[in-house]
């Protein structure tokens, strides 16, 4: 595909803006449009900003007018931010995706859809394979609301791509992103003065560095493949190790009390922990990225440990536990 | 920072006779000194004095620690240094969560069990390939996976080029607090063919117990009889990855928890695969989990080369069953042989 015309939803988010910025400077991209109800975080010269709510049926008129060949769906809410209810997050995720697909039905020029989905669809299971591959998505019951949302979204796009074989639909399943400039559930979790953990659990976690998250998506736009693709940094990190690297004291809680205590912590200004994230903190999750490397052709540059280190480096001076390293052995 | 002079003080502070010369290449030399049993009182007091002096002089805690640390014996300093590094998150875990440093730290305890408690004799460790993928297939008995840890210690002690085996653990263990963490840090992974496949493709040494729960929960009277080997999944894995199969016979683990009966109601309440009743458990509470000191023998048998059959042989059901049965018989025969060689179970 030469000279591409691309539209991005959710361009007002950090990653949405960064992806738009990357695509703007790309000579292969002829035309770029960005859609969101809030403006992008930086001034973008070439991008056409379409101010529209993805839940609004009016996008079925706006999107075909843009005559794009590729749509990047980046408007999936992983964690309801402050002032957003779980209900409206669900609406944006599910109804928004439905409206987007309704608009896609009318866009004749469309050839590819790339969705920034979530590896949350695999869930966090103690007895699961330690590295999920793409075909292992429905092995366990869908336990949390977010997990059900993601599964539903995947279903819609799956059905769409079967009914429209001329459109290549790539479902990128992202592990949580981490990095110096990102504000995500995991960075909020690590920035608390006291980090709640499950007593007796130290799960393996896997992230993707923010730079790799952007580049992997750009790579998928350049080389769209059909079906789901896992996106994560190679390797995993233990929760305890990560919290220690960030220099935070932990608050180990009995599993039965975790919900009660963290909900109470909300009232004194600590961040809320979604049910989905809770399961992650208890059982962890790892995914296999062979398909990303071999079929999409993108190899992440940062390992999970590197990504966490990169985040921690920018947090220097905010450590709460003093560094005793090199203290004794000389 | 004055640590040079400090270490000189430290050597003289205890006033003890010089320790017997140790081979510097012996890796245990450092470990034994760091063990709490050998905690030096004299140096500890001078350490605390200097720490207080440092703090009184208005230094930061890490700096004061560094200066006072010079008074400690070297072994203790190294151990303390490792501990502080770990507290800063400075340690390695591979993608499976295996933490070699943690495993090494636990080794003295496991070696105590190996040498003194169970007096394990390991035969044929050289049959395990020293590099590349391989599948250890062992019989399983005793309710907790002590046999897996003893196979590891046997490998580390007797093999000329030792390496840690990874073992597949019943998934139930991964729901438990602490147990799950200890398992993964020692090289355990969830018993799933996908995990085993990935490990073998990474050229690791993988230990499996095809008897599974049936093996761990067998009655005392049938303790030396191997149970059915599942569906032969381990043979498929070995064929598909071209990994040699090393049959391993463990004798002695059958006696550590003589299982007399079961309490299915308790098992259902706890969500456990079964709830054993032994002469000591659950009557003595936590004390009931202390394994009995039986005498053990571990034999690694001749490896079976599977690469020559090719990966397609994994599709052939009857061949897979045949090979699985062959491995089972080898282990069963080795168990009987070693029973005879062992003699009395406890003395």
Phi, psi angle pair for B294, to nearest 5°: -80, 170
Q: Do B175 and A127 touch (CB under 8 A)?
A: yes
By the 10 Å C-beta count (0-12 exposed, 13-18 middle, 19+ buried), B164 is classed as: middle
Taking residues B218-241, report their average pLDDT. 86
Q: Do B95 and A330 touch (CB under 8 A)?
A: no
Taking residues B135-163, report their average pLDDT. 90
Supply the pLDDT for residue B246. 96
Q: Residues of chain A with pLDDT > 70: what percent?
A: 94
B80 touches chain A (CB under 8 A): yes
- Rounded Cα distance between B58 and A11, Å, is 53
B33 touches chain A (CB under 8 A): no
- At residue A204 the predicted structure's pLDDT band, cuts being 50, 70 and 90, is very high
Q: What is the pLDDT of residues A44-88, one digit of tens each?
A: 888 999 999 999 999 999 999 999 999 999 999 887 777 788 888
B195 touches chain A (CB under 8 A): yes
pLDDT at B214 over 60: yes
Instruction: Tell me the residue ranges of DSSP E strands in chain B.
Output: 121-123, 134-138, 166-169, 188-190, 205-208, 245-251, 261-262, 276-277, 297-300
Q: How many CA atoms lie within 13 A of B286 on its CB side?
A: 0
Token representation of residue B228: 């059915």
ipTM score: 0.89
Supply the pLDDT for residue B230. 76
Chain B residues in contact with A326 by the CB 8 A cut-off are 66, 81
Angle at alpha carbon of residue A49, lines to A48 and A51, rounded to 5°: 145
Most confident of A59-68, A79-88, A207-216, B38-47: A207-216
Helix (H, G, I), strand (E, B) or coil at B132: coil
CB-nearest partner of A323 from B62, B69, B93: B62
Chain A nearest CA to B65, separation (Å): 6
Chain B residues in contact with A205 by the CB 8 A cut-off are none
- At residue A263 the predicted structure's pLDDT band, cuts being 50, 70 and 90, is confident
B178 touches chain A (CB under 8 A): yes
Least confident of A35-39, A173-177, B1-5, B231-235: B1-5
Q: What is the pLDDT of residues B248-267, one digit of tens each?
A: 999 988 888 888 888 888 88
Supply the pLDDT for residue B20. 53
B3 touches chain A (CB under 8 A): yes
pLDDT at A319 over 80: no
Q: What is the mean pLDDT of chain A?
A: 90
Supply the pLDDT for residue A324. 58
Chain A nearest CA to B1, separation (Å): 9
- At residue B150 the predicted structure's pLDDT band, cuts being 50, 70 and 90, is very high
CB-nearest partner of A323 from B69, B88, B189: B88
User: DSSP code of B95?
Assistant: T
Angle at alpha carbon of residue B319, lines to B318 and B325, rounded to 5°: 90
Chain B residues in contact with A126 by the CB 8 A cut-off are 171, 174-175, 180, 190
Supply the pLDDT for residue B33. 42
Supply the pLDDT for residue B295. 92
Taking residues A125-134, report their average pLDDT. 93
- At residue B14 the predicted structure's pLDDT band, cuts being 50, 70 and 90, is very low
Q: Are strands A70-73 and A112-118 parallel, antiparallel or unpaired?
A: parallel
Supply the pLDDT for residue A147. 93
- At residue B13 the predicted structure's pLDDT band, cuts being 50, 70 and 90, is very low
């Amino acid at each position: 595909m030469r000279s591409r015309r691309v539209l991005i939803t959710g361009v007002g988010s950090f990653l949405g803006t960064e992806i738009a910025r990357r695509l703007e400077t790309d000579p292969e991209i002829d035309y770029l449009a960005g859609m969101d109800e809030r403006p992008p975080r930086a001034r973008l010269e070439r991008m056409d900003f379409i101010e529209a709510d993805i839940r609004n049926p009016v996008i079925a008129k706006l999107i075909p007018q843009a005559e794009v060949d590729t749509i990047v769906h980046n408007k999936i809410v992983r964690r309801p931010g402050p002032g957003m209810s779980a209900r409206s997050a669900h609406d944006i995720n599910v109804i928004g995706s439905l409206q987007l697909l309704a608009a896609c039905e009318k866009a004749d020029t469309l050839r590819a859809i790339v969705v920034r989905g979530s590896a949350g669809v695999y869930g966090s299971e103690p007895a699961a394979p330690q590295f999920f591959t793409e075909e292992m998505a429905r092995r366990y019951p869908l336990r949390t609301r977010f997990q059900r949302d993601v599964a539903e979204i995947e279903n819609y796009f799956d059905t769409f791509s079967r009914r429209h074989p001329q459109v290549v639909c790539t479902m990128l399943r992202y592990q949580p992103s981490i990095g110096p400039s990102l504000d995500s559930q995991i960075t909020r979790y690590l920035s608390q003065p006291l980090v709640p953990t499950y007593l007796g659990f130290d799960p393996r976690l896997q992230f993707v560095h923010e730079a790799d998250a952007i580049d992997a998506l750009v790579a998928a736009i350049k080389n769209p493949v059909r079906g789901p693709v896992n996106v994560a940094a190679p390797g995993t990190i233990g929760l305890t190790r990560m919290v220690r690297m960030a220099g935070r004291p932990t608050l180990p809680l009995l599993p039965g009390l975790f919900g009660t205590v963290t909900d109470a912590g909300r009232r004194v200004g600590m961040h809320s922990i979604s049910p989905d994230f809770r399961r992650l903190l208890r059982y962890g999750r790892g995914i296999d990225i062979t398909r990303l490397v071999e079929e999409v052709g993108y190899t992440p540059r940062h390992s999970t440990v590197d990504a966490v280190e990169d985040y921690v480096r920018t947090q220097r001076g905010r450590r709460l536990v003093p560094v005793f390293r090199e203290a004794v052995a000389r | 920072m004055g640590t040079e002079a400090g270490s000189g003080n430290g050597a003289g502070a205890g006033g003890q006779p010089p320790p017997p010369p140790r081979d510097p290449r012996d890796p245990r030399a450092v470990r034994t000194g760091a063990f709490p049993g050998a905690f030096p009182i004299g140096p500890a007091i001078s350490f605390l004095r200097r720490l207080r002096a440092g703090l009184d002089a208005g230094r930061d805690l890490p700096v004061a620690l560094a200066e006072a640390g010079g008074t400690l014996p070297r072994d203790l300093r190294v151990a303390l240094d490792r501990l502080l590094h770990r507290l800063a998150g400075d340690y390695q875990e591979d993608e499976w969560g295996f933490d070699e440093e943690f495993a090494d730290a636990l080794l003295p305890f496991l070696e105590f069990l190996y040498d003194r408690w169970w007096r394990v004799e390991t035969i044929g460790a050289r049959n395990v390939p020293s590099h590349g993928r391989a599948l250890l297939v062992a019989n399983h008995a005793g309710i907790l996976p002590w046999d897996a840890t003893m196979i590891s210690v046997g490998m580390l002690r007797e093999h000329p080029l030792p390496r840690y085996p990874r073992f597949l653990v019943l998934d139930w263990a991964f729901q438990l607090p602490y147990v799950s963490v200890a398992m993964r840090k020692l090289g355990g992974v969830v018993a799933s063919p996908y995990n085993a496949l990935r490990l073998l493709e990474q050229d690791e040494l993988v230990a499996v117990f095809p008897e599974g729960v049936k093996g761990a929960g067998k009655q005392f009277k049938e303790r030396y009889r191997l149970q059915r080997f599942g569906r032969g999944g381990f043979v498929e894995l070995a064929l598909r990855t071209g990994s040699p199969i090393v049959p391993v016979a463990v004798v002695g683990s059958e006696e550590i928890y003589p299982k007399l009966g079961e309490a299915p109601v308790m098992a259902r309440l706890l969500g456990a695969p079964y709830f054993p009743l032994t002469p000591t458990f659950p009557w003595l509470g936590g004390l009931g989990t202390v394994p009995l000191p039986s005498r053990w023998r571990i034999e690694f048998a001749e490896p079976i080369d599977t690469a020559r059959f090719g990966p397609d042989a994994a599709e052939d059901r009857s061949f897979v069953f045949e090979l699985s049965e062959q491995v089972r018989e080898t282990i069963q025969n080795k168990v009987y042989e070693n029973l005879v060689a062992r003699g009395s179970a406890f003395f």
